């Protein structure tokens, strides 16, 4: 269901470009550039859809589609934002932030980003890379020595997907920072068929539930486990970004949450992005729901532990209950549509937003290119982003060169440089 929802949103935004006939403006869309005191997005410019070559009428199809998902009981609600040429033309909230409390969704409602944390973590790594703190080809063990002597399953994944961990061999080469950014390090997640149980037994968390201790402690436990395959040989979605979060801590000398706040969130004006929202903002965090054919849509309650596929467990209250000491670089952040748009617009601008440069243009180019040729048939992947690097990846409307990602709780985004477009 999650992938169906994300595909449906991607398809809808592809239909919103004008086809030669100007459509009438509706009053549901943002009007261009009101006074700053009245501006719903602060310093973010807005425009009518037609001003940037888009269709008001077609953008309303997004609203209608999400309303249909709400009516059918597939989701509780959603927030959608569309921008082109650096101007927001559509920002709309549909449904309920909390269905049982009858609390309407707001455009500034906060969502659990889950894996949409990964692109932000990759950007943090690239900030330090641009400062000359390391090369992407450096072994991560130069900075995290616990990764110096890694063992690898034999036979490796994916040749062997069923047998329990048994025979081990030495790693032929070190895990590099580039391997971590591209998920080619040989790490995995606790739901993996061969190593998942070992991860769970070692208390290696997916980032989707409460975690005692710190990311540094968890990464040391992770490094003591074998790799699925030789570094660089294959692609496996993994806890690499948690290791990268720890790398940022060690190299910068700052806790990961503070580094992100000072080097990314504050310069970009991302005022509502946190691992653990402050108490006065927790009420804006949307209720989380699970869906199955028998129960339909049902809330995930506080203190409730859910069982996911592959044996991993997840909760919904981890952003505001628990020790608040584990900053998961792969899954931990919470944010709003507006805040994440600011990050995306910085990327689309080649690393700059509102006169503040976060990354170089060349870093953005490197991050948004495919680096896993021949290592997976599932997708193309850059440094923290999925990429549409060749026509065969365009199974729906879109552009070669676009990049994107999504999260466990139904969040998704896309950046299309060819169309100068974000959704």
pLDDT per position as a tens digit, 4-14: 555 555 555 55
pLDDT at residue 23 greater than cutoff 90: no
pLDDT of residue 18: 52
Q: Is the pLDDT of residue 286 over 80?
A: yes
- Position 51 scores a pLDDT of 97
pLDDT score of 42 more than 60: no
pTM of this prediction? 0.92
Rounded-to-integer distance, Cα 79 and Cα 399, Å:
23
Q: What is the structure's pLDDT at 331?
A: 98
pLDDT mean over 272-289: 97
- What lies within 8 Å, CB to CB, of 50 at 6+ separation is 18, 22, 23, 25, 56
Residue-wise pLDDT tens digits, 150-204 = 999 999 998 998 888 789 999 999 999 999 999 999 999 999 999 999 999 999 9
Q: What is the pLDDT of residue 310?
A: 82
User: What pLDDT sits at residue 393?
Assistant: 82
pLDDT band of residue 27 (cuts 50, 70, 90) is: very low
State yes or no: pLDDT of 72 exceeds 90: yes
| Cross-strand pairs, 383 | none
Task: Report, as an integer, the average pLDDT of 217-225.
Answer: 98
Contacts (Cβ under 8 Å, ≥6 apart) of 321 = 210, 302, 303
Largest alpha-carbon pair distance within the chain?
67
Angle between helices 117-130 and 240-252 (to 10 degrees): 40
**pLDDT for position 99:** 95
The kind and range of the H/E element at 218 are helix 215-223
Residue 253 corresponds to which tokens in the numbers above?
Answer: 């000398």
pLDDT (0 to 100) of residue 13 = 59
Report residue 319's pLDDT band, with 50, 70 and 90 as the boundaries. Answer: very high
Distance between alpha carbon 303 and the CA centroid of its chain, in Å? Answer: 25
The sign one gets for the Cα dihedral 14, 18, 21, 25 is positive
User: How, if at all, do strands 352-353 and 402-406 pair?
Assistant: unpaired
122, HSE (Cβ side, Cα atoms, 13 Å): 29
Respond yes or no on whether the N-terminal peptide bond of residue 346 is cis (omega within 30° of 0). Answer: no
Q: Strand (E) positions, 187-317?
A: 289-292, 296-299, 306-307, 313-314
Which residues have C-beta within 8 Å of that of residue 184, sequence separation ≥ 6? Answer: 178, 231, 232, 233, 234, 235, 236, 372, 375
- pLDDT for 354 equals 92
Mean pLDDT, the chain, as a whole number?
91
Determine the pLDDT at residue 378. 82
Residues 15, 18, 21, 25, CA torsion sign: positive
For residue 21, give Cα distances in angstroms to 18, 46, 55: 7, 22, 9
pLDDT for res 20: 31
* Contact assessment for residue 303 and residue 195, using Cβ atoms and an 8 Å cutoff: no
Spatial contact of 67 and 76, defined as CB atoms under 8 Å apart: no
Q: What is the predicted pLDDT for the residue at 162?
A: 86
Phi, psi of 422 (to 5 degrees): -135, 140
Instruction: Express each pLDDT in 127-139 by its tens digit.
Output: 999 999 999 999 9
Whether 2 has a pLDDT exceeding 90, the answer reads: no
Supply the pLDDT for residue 19: 38
Residue found by looking up tokens 């959704």 in the block: 423
């Amino acid at each position: 269901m999650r992938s169906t929802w994300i595909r449906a949103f991607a398809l809808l935004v592809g239909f919103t470009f004008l086809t030669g006939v100007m459509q009438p403006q509706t009053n549901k869309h943002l009007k261009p550039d009101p006074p700053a005191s009245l501006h719903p997005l602060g310093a973010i410019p807005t425009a009518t859809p037609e001003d940037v070559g888009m269709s008001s009428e077609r953008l309303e199809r997004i609203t209608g589609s999400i309303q249909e998902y709400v009516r059918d009981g597939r989701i509780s609600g959603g927030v959608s934002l569309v921008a082109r040429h650096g101007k927001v033309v559509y920002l709309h909230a549909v449904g309920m932030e909390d269905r049982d409390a009858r609390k309407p969704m707001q455009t500034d409602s906060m969502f659990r980003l889950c894996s949409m944390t990964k692109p932000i973590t990759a950007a943090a790594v690239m900030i330090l890379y641009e400062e000359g703190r390391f090369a992407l080809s450096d072994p991560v063990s130069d900075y995290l020595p616990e990764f110096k002597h890694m063992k690898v399953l034999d036979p490796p994944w994916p040749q062997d997907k069923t047998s329990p961990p048994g025979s081990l061999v030495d790693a032929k080469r070190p895990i590099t920072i580039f391997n971590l950014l591209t998920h080619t390090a040989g790490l995995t997640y606790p739901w993996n068929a061969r190593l998942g149980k070992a991860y769970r037994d070692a208390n290696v968390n997916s980032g989707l539930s409460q975690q005692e201790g710190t990311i540094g402690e968890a990464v040391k436990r992770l490094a003591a486990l074998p790799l699925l395959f030789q570094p660089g040989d294959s692609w496996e979605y993994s806890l690499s970004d948690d290791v990268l979060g720890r790398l940022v801590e060690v190299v910068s000398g700052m806790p990961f949450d503070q580094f992100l706040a000072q080097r990314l969130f504050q310069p970009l004006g991302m005022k509502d992005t946190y691992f653990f929202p402050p108490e006065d903002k927790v009420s804006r965090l949307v209720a989380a729901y699970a869906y199955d054919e028998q129960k339909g849509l049902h809330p995930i309650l506080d203190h409730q532990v859910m069982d996911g596929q592959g044996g991993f467990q997840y909760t919904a209250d981890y952003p505001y209950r628990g020790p608040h000491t584990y900053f998961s670089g792969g899954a931990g952040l919470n944010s709003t549509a507006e805040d994440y748009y600011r990050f995306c617009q910085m990327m689309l601008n080649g690393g700059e937003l509102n006169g503040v440069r976060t990354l170089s243009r060349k870093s953005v180019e490197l991050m948004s290119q495919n680096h896993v040729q021949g290592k997976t048939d599932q997708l193309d992947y850059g440094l923290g982003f999925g990429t549409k690097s060749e026509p065969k990846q365009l199974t729906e409307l879109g552009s070669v060169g676009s990049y994107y990602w999504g999260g466990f709780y139904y969040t998704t985004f896309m950046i299309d440089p060819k169309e100068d477009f974000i959704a």
